[in-house]
């Protein structure tokens, strides 16, 4: 499973990218609205930093408007993937963009049938929102599991991005179910990294080494 970062904040992206595990990024209007500066420049900067697919979302309600916005966004950088909403117009736009070889991410997916429709429209990615399903008491694991299995048995090439990730457990769940990608907020990445026993173990190794009178390796 690939890791994408779910943010538009350059400092956070820079930090996670330095770990050497990042394959892409997803943004949305809410995430971009939290940043200051020229949004197009921010998206270009993210593309340079990440070196992989970066989702940028359209805001039009109709397919024509979405396709026109998509053209502008796609011209910013080769790595831009166009996020369209899971609506009839969004499907029309995804289908048209597929014909133009522009990659799409159909977002705000909450059911297996929506994911099937997005795939049929030629979406490159579908993004089921697990956290928002959990928020309203639905079984996000069942929805994600159905989508992954349906895509597998039907040999559908559209990739599944587990989105709206709220905790490290969501990431484990997505990986166990065989999602292609998990798009993860920076705060959740930091939680995934940490374990108290790792810190305790590092301290202990250093103390034992020093107790034995050994010198630390000179890094110079």
Residues annotated as catalytic (active site), given as ranges: 83
Span interacting with ligand E4P, options 109-117, 124-132, 167-175, 198-206, rule CB under 6 A? 124-132
Q: Are 151 and 132 in contact (CB under 8 A)?
A: no
Q: To 10 degrees, the CA torsion angle through 10, 28, 40, 77?
A: 90
DSSP character for 213?
T
State the number of binding residues for ligand E4P (CB under 6 A): 11
Span interacting with ligand E4P, options 44-52, 87-95, 123-131, 188-196, rule CB under 6 A? 123-131
Span interacting with ligand E4P, options 8-16, 125-133, 186-194, 205-213, rule CB under 6 A? 125-133
Which residue, 29 or 201, is less far from ligand E4P as judged by CB?
Answer: 29
HEC-encoded secondary structure of 179-208: CCEEEECHHHHHHHHCCHHHHHHHHHHHHH
Determine which residue in the list 124, 140, 173, 183 makes contact with ligand E4P, applying CB under 6 A.
Answer: 183
Tell the residue number behind the tokens 């309600």, with chain if given. Answer: 61
Give yes or no for residue 28 binding ligand E4P (CB under 6 A): yes
Give yes or no for residue 163 binding ligand E4P (CB under 6 A): yes
Residues 41-70 that bind ligand E4P (CB under 6 A): none
Separation of first and last alpha carbons in the chain: 37
Determine which residue in the list 110, 125, 129, 151 makes contact with ligand E4P, applying CB under 6 A.
Answer: 129
Provide the mask over 2-21, with x wherever binding to ligand E4P is found by CB under 6 A and - wherever it is not: ----x---------------
Determine which residue in the list 132, 138, 190, 191 makes contact with ligand E4P, applying CB under 6 A.
Answer: 132
Token pair, residue 76, equals: 């910013």
Give yes or no for residue 131 binding ligand E4P (CB under 6 A): yes
Taking CB atoms within 8 Å and a gap of at least 24, the contacts of 16-23 are 16/186, 16/189, 17/49, 17/50, 19/189, 19/193, 22/50, 22/52, 23/50, 23/52, 23/53, 23/181
Q: Which residues bind ligand E4P (CB under 6 A)?
A: 6, 26, 28, 107, 127, 129, 131-132, 163-164, 183
């Amino acid at each position: 499973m690939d890791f994408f970062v779910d943010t538009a904040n350059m400092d956070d992206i820079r930090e996670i990218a330095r770990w050497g595990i990042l394959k892409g990024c997803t943004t949305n209007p809410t995430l971009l609205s939290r940043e200051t500066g020229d949004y197009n420049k921010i998206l270009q900067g993210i593309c340079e930093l990440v070196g992989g697919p970066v989702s940028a979302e359209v805001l039009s309600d109709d397919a024509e408007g979405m396709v026109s916005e998509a053209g502008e966004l796609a011209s910013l950088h080769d790595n831009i993937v166009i996020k369209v909403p899971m609506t009839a117009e969004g499907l029309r736009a995804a289908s048209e963009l597929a014909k133009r070889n522009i990659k799409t991410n159909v977002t705000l997916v909450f059911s297996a049938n929506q994911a099937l429709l997005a795939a049929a429209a030629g979406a490159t990615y579908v993004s089921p929102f697990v956290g928002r399903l959990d928020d309203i008491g639905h079984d996000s694991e069942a929805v994600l599991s159905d989508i992954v299995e349906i895509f597998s048995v039907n040999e559908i090439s559209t990739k599944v991005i587990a989105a709206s990730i709220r905790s490290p457990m969501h990431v484990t769940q997505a990986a166990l179910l065989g999602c292609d990608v998990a798009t993860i907020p920076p705060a959740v990445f930091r939680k995934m990294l940490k374990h108290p026993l790792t810190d305790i173990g590092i301290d202990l190794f250093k103390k034992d080494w020093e107790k034995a009178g050994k010198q630390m390796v000179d890094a110079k």
